[in-house]
Chain A
Amino acid sequence: MNKNTSLDKAQRILQQLRDNFLDELPERCDAIEEGILALAEDREGEHFQRLFREVHSLKGSAGTHGIVAISTICHQLEDGLTTAQATAPHAPERIDLYLRYLDLIHRCIEIARDKRGNYAEIDQALEDIRRHSSPHQLSGLIVENSPAMIALYQGALADQPVQLAVEQDGMVALNRLLHERFDLLIMGAETRTLNGIGVLYALRAANGINRHIEVILVSSSQRQNFAKALAPDVLVPRGPEMIPRLATAVSGIVRRARSGGRRP
């Protein structure tokens, strides 16, 4: 068998595996739904662990089959589950929220079967869920290599009405920025795989949902040369003034968003 024939065969098998995955997905969704509904009575955290494993496993499988939208939904569901488990009980409105994520996964199955490949409505629905579940909060993404710096940022912004997600790898962050809506981005300059400047340029150049969000770049350099259209909105130098300047910059973004000014 020549190489092209062999590759064609491999692609056919991969397509069949993807179809099988989609066929079995409703059953996996049922298991997740049972897990979500059981959270209300989950005194020992046993249901939570099982549910988290199911969601995590689905995230990995969907990514392996190239269905990024389902991975993104699972990622957000994981974030929501983890946050609630650490800080608050899974109240009925949280359970409803988790079930909305599940509805989106069902919708992804339909889109994937349609072979339309257009998941834009899923991005919008994820954004709607976020705004509905946290109407007074903005959504921010911290992209920073150093755990110590991340802890500093989180501490400095703890009082701000901003829900912060964290990524340490530039490419992973860029992927999230292309598929999930954020209101602001806090970038360290040195991140793995793709550095902060690279993420910023790609974000501004791509015609994505976050193209115009406000970006705060934290850098050890006091001055940097940027093409005008690609410059960060705020450059915060590392140093003793870093934390207050970061807090001030984020306060400004929150104020503008609330006054109906530039909506990131």
Chain B
Amino acid sequence: MNSNELERILFVEDEADIQAVAQVALEAVGGFTVRICSSGEEALRVAEAFAPQLILSDVMMPDMDGPATLIALRRLPALADTPAIFMTARVLPQEVEQLRACGAMAVIAKPFDPMTLAQQIKDIWGQSHA
């Protein structure tokens, strides 16, 4: 495997329905290895051991939202530079800019198309690792 090739994704999402569809989209369609976390707290517990190449996170979650989760994950030395993408139904320009300011390299709109989500992520990854 090329060291630049994306394989492991840490996916943080509290909605079970969306978790299930995204798992199919990322694993069966995209061929990625995915660790799903239902909350920011769970992501913090498992992230270092999983060593993701990419963090993919929902924005609106109870307790710890997406930006808070990303900030906390970035305090872990192993994840200090791990690229992140947010997924949100709120794609207003100023909100997207705020999410980018939190350190996300891209924002993907919800609802996503499960048959094209993986390619969308590969494209974003390819652009940032060209």
Contacts and interface: CB of A to CB of B under 8 A. Distances in A.
Interface of A: 6-7, 9-11, 13-14, 17, 21, 57, 60-61, 63-66, 71, 145, 147, 168-169, 172, 192-193
A21 B17 contact: yes
Nearest to B96: A192
A64 B89 contact: no
A64 B24 contact: no
Nearest to B19: A64
A14 B91 contact: no
Contacts of B115: 7, 10-11, 14
Contacts of B28: 6, 9-10, 13
A50 B111 CA distance: 22
Contacts of A193: 91
Contacts of B93: 145, 168, 192
Given A9-B28, A17-B24, A60-B18, 8 more contacts: A6-B28, A6-B29, A7-B115, A14-B21, A17-B21, A64-B15, A66-B111, A168-B93
A63 B112 CA distance: 8
B116 to A, nearest CB: 11
A171 B94 CA distance: 16
Nearest to A13: B24
A169 B92 contact: yes
Contacts of A10: 24-25, 28-29, 114-115
Interface string B11-32: 0000101101100110011000
Contacts of B45: none
A105 to B, nearest CB: 15
A252 B91 CA distance: 33
Interface residues of B, number: 19
Nearest to B29: A10
A168 B111 CA distance: 17
A99 to B, nearest CB: 24
Contact of B91 (A6, A64, A65, A169): A169
Contacts of B25: 10
B75 interface: no
A14 B117 CA distance: 13
27 contacts: A6-B28, A10-B28, A10-B29, A14-B21, A14-B24, A14-B115, A17-B17, A17-B20, A17-B24, A21-B17, A60-B15, A60-B18, A60-B89, A61-B15, A61-B18, A63-B111, A64-B15, A64-B18, A64-B111, A64-B114, A66-B111, A71-B111, A168-B92, A169-B91, A169-B92, A192-B91, A192-B93
Nearest to A169: B91
Contacts of A13: 24, 28
A17 B25 CA distance: 12
